[in-house]
Chain A
Amino acid sequence: MWLAIYTLWLRDLVRFVRQRSRVVGAFATPIVFWALLGSGLGGSFSMGGAERAGGYLHFFFPGTLALIVLFTAIFSTISLIEDRQLGFLQGVLVAPVSRAAIVLGKMLGGTTLALVQAGVFLLLAPVAGITVSAAQLPALLLVLTLLAFALTGLGFVIAWWLDSTQGFHAIMNLLLVPMWVLSGAVFPASGAAPWLRPLMRVNPMTYGVSGLQEILIGQTSGPSFGTAITATLLFGLIMLGAGTVLASRRAQG
């Protein structure tokens, strides 16, 4: 079981490194996003009651980190669709491996890639006036890992249903990006229209984002840190369970 998880995890990493465009795209997109959106909105944006030094680039930094994790999770699960089309997945499915191991290998692969990319982006933290102390690192790593694990799991569950990568892009625009927008990453819940707030509360991404904000900018309009950790862990485990159930069904295809 561990050998199977390890080998699927390793394959995802090797594939990633061998696709230079993916490496560049995954790093560059959020940085450009952060710099342009953050700088552009900064002047006209006033945070509802939570004004603080550093401006919008500062506030937007944890949200961008969450976006990097989301993008990486999406791109690493899109490969699941390619694997199905090209036949590699079938070869894995006929192997005597527990279905949970297949899902877990994929989820851990995406999680690792997300952590690496988040780590690189964190090097920019001083630019946003954010310092991360050594004491904060374990908590930061924990939140990032849980969030990456959950989002890769979500990506897996979505990708399993789809037979085209175009389909995934549609889902990304209709579901995943709005999820990110409504996670408190772009604007705090305290400043949002009242009808949006319940949506933000049931959005599973809100909790991971809130955890990141707590650590990095010391403020969040979201739930407490303990709730954030628990909810994100739960989110990830539910996705793992759902993915395993999907991968165990042999009715389709």
Chain B
Amino acid sequence: MTAGPSIVVEAVERRFGPRVALAGVSFTVEPGEIFGLLGPNGSGKTTLFRIVSTLIEATAGRVAVAGHDVATDAQAARRQLGVVFQSPALDVRLTARENLRHHGHLYGFHGKDLEERITASLGALGVAERAGDLVAKLSGGLQRRVEVAKALLPRPRVLVLDEPSSGLDPNARRELWDLLRSLRDTVGTTVVLTTHLMDEAARCDRVAILHHGRLVALGTPDELTRIVGGEVLWVSGADPENLAGGIATRFGVDARLVDGRVRVEHPGGHLLVPQIVEAFPGAIEAVTVSRPTLEDVFVHHTGERFE
């Protein structure tokens, strides 16, 4: 076991023809971390997931999993990886157990050891009693569990998941997160997941925010929201453009027009509310005050709404 980073992403670029999906992204994931790749559709997070999971190659740059370069030493990297795709990579005409058995064979396991691993893996996901059912007969949530059980069967050091919560009900999501945390805490599994959900990203140990193929922020959820500072005000009115200008000159704050509303980051945001309302009588329809979320972090760095 090397003590080096679980994943190294170094100046990674990926182009699809003229389209640039990743424009030079770098970060490192340490062992035993739950690391989130947060970004809206088209941010490049799934492309990055596919590069790390060895499905596609980077156009430039380097990715290493547990010290193994995914471009030059893919088989060694694959041996350290468990991959959970957004749509389950299961054969629906086979039973859950058969799916895991084939998967185990691909990783070189067989015989009694394999059967024990299958039982343990399905058990950990609470689907042991459905082992003999055809996957086609299982609900979407159960299929996702079988998929995760399959990825965990070789006991990978690094687990990568693409949008793991999509299609899961709140209960199943909570259980998935309990599992990911217990994997991290008991066996020290590194978890990397992509997500477009703020609350999911907020549960990660560290988050990388991607936007148009670039890394715009990286840190713990706390660090990231602290950068935004204090509180965030959203002011809406009939003429947001004038309003933004007015608020900026009058109060000397950074008031930006985002998605048809005025957005103000301010340490004492709530104290500003009555002043703003009084200063622009009749021009204001609503003001909301909130502690910054990762969504605010995204807006802070990109000037765009997260969607």
Are B106 and A95 in contact, with the CB atoms below 8 A?
yes
- B109, closest chain A residue (CB): A3
CB distance from B106 to the nearest CB of A (A): 4
A91-B105 in contact given A3-B110, A14-B98, A251-B57 (Cβ < 8 Å): no
Q: Which of A52-60, A82-90, A138-146 lies at the binding interface?
A: A82-90
Structural contact, A15 and B92, CB atoms closer than 8 A:
no
Interface residue? A37 (CB, 8 A): no
Tell me the minimal C-beta distance from A47 to chain B in angstroms: 45
Q: Which of B80-88, B234-242, B256-264 contacts A (4 or more CB under 8 A)?
A: B80-88
For chain A, residues 3 to 39, give those with C-beta under 8 angstroms from any C-beta of chain B: 3-4, 6-8, 10-11, 14-15, 18-19
Q: Say yes or no for B195: interface residue by CB 8 A criterion.
A: no
Shortest distance between the CB of B30 and any CB in chain A (Å): 22
Number of interface residues of A (CB under 8 A): 29
Q: B-side binding surface: helix, strand, loop or mixed?
A: loop
Question: Once the chains bind, are A11 and B91 in contact (CB under 8 Å)?
Answer: yes
By the criterion CB–CB under 8 Å, are B93 and A253 in contact? no
CA distance A12 to B32 in the complex (A): 38
Report the separation of the CA atoms of residues A31 and B234 in the bound assembly, to the nearest whole angstrom. Answer: 73
Interface size of B by CB at 8 A reads: 31
B55 near A93 (CB under 8 angstroms)? yes
CB <8 Å contact, B79 and A88: no
* A67 vs B180: C-alpha distance when bound (angstroms): 52
Minimal beta-carbon separation of A100 from chain B (angstroms): 12
Taken residue by residue from 66 to 105, chain B's Cβ proximity to chain A (1 for < 8 Å, 0 otherwise) reads as 0000000001101101010101111111100010011101
CB distance from B104 to the nearest CB of A (A): 8
Min distance, Cβ B300 to any Cβ of chain A, angstroms? 34
Q: Determine the distance from Cα of A19 to Cα of B98 in the docked complex, in whole angstroms.
A: 16
Q: Considering the chains assembled together, what is the distance between the CA atoms of A98 and B79 in angstroms?
A: 12
* Nearest residue, chain A, Cβ from B81: A94
B54:A250 contact, CB within 8 angstroms: yes
Residues of A within 8 A of B50 (CB): 253
Q: For residue A4, which residues in chain B have a CB less than 8 angstroms away from its CB?
A: 105-106
Contact with A along B6-26 (1 / 0, CB 8 A): 000000000000000000000
Q: With A87-B85, A96-B75 in contact, do A19 and B105 touch (Cβ < 8 Å)? A: no
| Cross-chain contact B56 with A91 (CB below 8 angstroms) | no
Cβ of A196 within 8 Å of any chain B Cβ, yes or no, is no
Say whether A250 contacts B106, CB under 8 Å: no
Write 9 A-B pairs (CB below 8 A) sorted by A numbering: A6-B105, A14-B94, A19-B93, A86-B91, A87-B85, A88-B90, A90-B55, A90-B85, A96-B75
Ranked nearest first, the 5 interchain pairs of A and B with the lowest CB-CB distance are A91-B89, A7-B105, A95-B106, A96-B78, A87-B89
